[in-house]
Amino acid sequence: MGARGAFLALLLMLVPAVMTALASDADGAPSTTPVVRVRGAARVTATASAVDGSVVVTGSVIDDTGRPVGGATLELRAFAADGSAVPLPPLGACANRPATTPGGQLLGPRASQALGSDTAGRFCATLVAERASSVVLAFHDPRGLFDASEARVAVDRARRGVELRLTPATATFELERETQRVQVTTHVVAAAPGVEPPLPLAVYLASPSGDTLVAQGACPIDGATELDLPSSKLTRPGPLELVLRFAGTPSLQPAEARRRVLATARVRLELSRKPAAADPTDGIPLDVALGSAAGAVTGGSVEARLFGQTVGIGRVERGATRLVAQFPRRGDTAELELRYLPLEPWWRAGDPVTVKVDLLSRARWVSLSWISALAAIAAWLLWGWRRPERAPAARPAAEPRAAVAGVHLLKREDDRTGWRGVVRDAHDGSPVPDAIVALYGPSPERRLLGRVRADDQGRFALDGAADANLELAVSAVLHSDFACRAPAHGELRVDLVSRRRFLVGRLVRWAEQRGPFGKGRAEPTPGDVKRYGHRARRDEVVTWANAVEAAAFGPDAVDEAKERNVTRHEPPEGDNPEPRIIKRDH
């Protein structure tokens, strides 16, 4: 067999053992990767009315988008006017409403009773408690899908309770339509048919600066109707919160219902000017204006395609973009297709625009180059006849730094104050809502010492002792994770890079190192990298460039799982760009 054959036989015997050991270690060892669980918010709305000697408690459980939470279990407690607890007997069903009380209730008064919601998220029960001045309904989800919620309601002995339900015909409002339609329903506790007139209702658009009236109408008691909302009053595309309100009467309690919807706008493309004839190998600039029913488009990109291949991409800012289409010359003209690539789900791509551009031949460019060179030589000779005045040497301007992830200590404060600040996008400076800011102990345990979630403006406040060995980690859904040594206590600014930009940045750095794309030229696109992969007969490069193009410029949001799926296709060689969790000192 020989020494070489013996070595190969030994290697074949060791490979299965090594693979088995690795699989056992992967299955048996506890994972050190933190598990992130996303939970929603639930809200309990209820009324309590005294009817025929009993207290009727009715309401609903909805999530943070306004959708009902069916099958929820609530804990009902009653309190007297002096704050003391009132024992509750088993709950009874409501008149003209199906019972929503769970079965198996114990006999005899108890400190609390269980109350359940139906498939529409509604609940209703009657209780005999003459001393009850208020009731408390507490919701806790045993599955861990929703945060706990609680509502305290006063027992109104003069007015009956009113339930409102707001149901849009669709969860998406297209702003191109003149009106949007919503359906509203009402229910009044123990209402006699025909006793009360229709209830006057109003729909508002909620905003931090104040609610805006967008629709009005009337609905029969225990009935339904439809209201029309003018699209002109929905000022912008994006997530909106509608509020349905009933002001109340001397015999009926005021009521409110909320629902979140998404307003979308269709993007229209139009050339700002006709492109001048140019050599496509050097690039043809295209100025594009973007409009919609909501005005100028503020996000996304415009892509130029030729024969199904991407030849240029430009970022949209303030309703316009300039992109450079670069491709080999094949003829005297070319027809480019311009398409809009949305970044946010509320911008919808419209029809592509076809642009016909004239291509100059290489010979004409060579002639122009010779003429320009001769003119420059003549100007230099004429300028050399005079002696120029001495002037101080100008200092070279510093190259602009690319926006990167980082933690900046804006203001140092006392050690007892902890850390506070804002999490924002490193490129456009917009706040990153719901970002997670965590503090970890020193290695090797890396024990979690504290964690806080930023608000909708990206603001956060985190307590903890200052220590040079601690680690500050920041994560968000659509931005790449970042971690560094914890700075001194004070006000911080945390900059995060979006996952889309992170993937494109890795591709550009790889292309400048490995492909024929030196620094100083136009930034390479995924289409450039794909063409390089085809020429070099490297299928793994083509696969990776396709994955980056689909994720970075596609309509779907890029989360951590999609980012990981793209980076696993990256070729192993290159400049070894930084990992997904960037390690830098503050």
Closest among 474, 488, 315 to 405, alpha carbons compared: 474
> Does the CA dihedral 329-326-554-343 come out positive or negative?
negative
In this prediction, residue 2 has a pLDDT band, given cuts at 50, 70 and 90, of low
| Packed helices 539-553 and 560-567: angle between N→C axes, nearest 10 degrees | 160
In this prediction, residue 19 has a pLDDT band, given cuts at 50, 70 and 90, of low
With 0-12 CB in 10 A as exposed, 13-18 as middle and 19+ as buried, what is 443? exposed
Which of residues 264, 282, 307 is at a domain's end? 264
Least confident of 290-299, 306-315, 372-381, 393-402: 393-402
Predicted confidence (pLDDT) at residue 260 exceeds the cutoff of 70: yes
pLDDT tens digits along 465-505: 777 678 888 989 888 888 888 888 888 899 998 888 888 88
Predicted confidence (pLDDT) at residue 192 exceeds the cutoff of 70: no
In this prediction, residue 583 has a pLDDT band, given cuts at 50, 70 and 90, of very low
Only one residue has tokens 């006057």, namely 200
| Rounded Cα–Cα distance for residues 194 and 201 (Å) | 18
Q: pLDDT over 90 for what percent of the chain?
A: 17
Residue type, 25: D
pLDDT tens digits along 533-565: 888 888 888 898 888 888 888 878 888 888 888
Predicted confidence (pLDDT) at residue 99 exceeds the cutoff of 50: yes
Q: What angle do CA 255, 260, 263 make, to 5 degrees?
A: 135
In the chain, how many H helices and how many E strands?
6, 33
What does the pLDDT average to over 521-535?
81
Predicted confidence (pLDDT) at residue 581 exceeds the cutoff of 60: no
pLDDT at site 183: 87
Do 517 and 468 lie in one domain? The reply is no
CATH of the domain at 178: 2.60.40.1940
CATH of the domain at 57: 2.60.40
Q: Does residue 381 belong to any structural domain of this protein? A: no
Q: What angle do CA 569, 574, 575 make, to 5 degrees?
A: 125
Q: Does residue 561 belong to any structural domain of this protein? A: yes
Q: Which residues make Cβ contacts (< 8 Å) with residue 462, sequence separation at least 6?
A: 418, 419, 420, 437, 439, 450, 451, 452
Predicted confidence (pLDDT) at residue 518 exceeds the cutoff of 90: no
Do 434 and 537 lie in one domain? The reply is no
pLDDT at site 416: 63
Predicted confidence (pLDDT) at residue 579 exceeds the cutoff of 60: no
Only one residue has tokens 């642009």, namely 355
**Under a CB-based contact definition with an 8 Å cutoff, are residues 493 and 410 in contact?**
yes
Q: Which two tokens stand for residue 398?
A: 């510093």
Higher per-residue pLDDT: 374 or 332: 332
Distances (CA, A) of 89 to 59, 104, 125, 151: 20, 13, 12, 21
For the chain, the straight-line distance linking the first and the last C-alpha, in angstroms and rounded, comes to 61
Q: Does residue 336 belong to any structural domain of this protein? A: yes
Do 303 and 243 lie in one domain? The reply is no
Do 128 and 234 lie in one domain? The reply is no
Do 506 and 571 lie in one domain? The reply is yes
pLDDT at site 270: 92
In this prediction, residue 514 has a pLDDT band, given cuts at 50, 70 and 90, of low
pLDDT at site 322: 92
Do 492 and 542 lie in one domain? The reply is no
Number of domains the chain is built from: 5
**Under a CB-based contact definition with an 8 Å cutoff, are residues 227 and 182 in contact?**
yes
**Under a CB-based contact definition with an 8 Å cutoff, are residues 152 and 193 in contact?**
no
Do 440 and 480 lie in one domain? The reply is yes
- Tell me the residue range of the domain where 512 lies: 499-583
Least confident of 31-45, 215-229, 420-434: 31-45
Closest among 334, 284, 333, 276 to 312, alpha carbons compared: 284
265 strand-pairing partners: 347
In this prediction, residue 166 has a pLDDT band, given cuts at 50, 70 and 90, of confident
**Under a CB-based contact definition with an 8 Å cutoff, are residues 171 and 262 in contact?**
yes
In this prediction, residue 577 has a pLDDT band, given cuts at 50, 70 and 90, of very low
Cis peptide before 168 (omega within 30 of 0): no
Q: Does residue 284 belong to any structural domain of this protein? A: yes
In this prediction, residue 353 has a pLDDT band, given cuts at 50, 70 and 90, of very high
pLDDT at site 233: 86
In this prediction, residue 312 has a pLDDT band, given cuts at 50, 70 and 90, of very high
Predicted confidence (pLDDT) at residue 119 exceeds the cutoff of 50: yes
Q: What is the mean pLDDT of the chain?
A: 80
Only one residue has tokens 């300028």, namely 383
Do 61 and 115 lie in one domain? The reply is yes
Predicted confidence (pLDDT) at residue 190 exceeds the cutoff of 80: no
Do 293 and 252 lie in one domain? The reply is no
Q: pLDDT over 70 for what percent of the chain?
A: 80
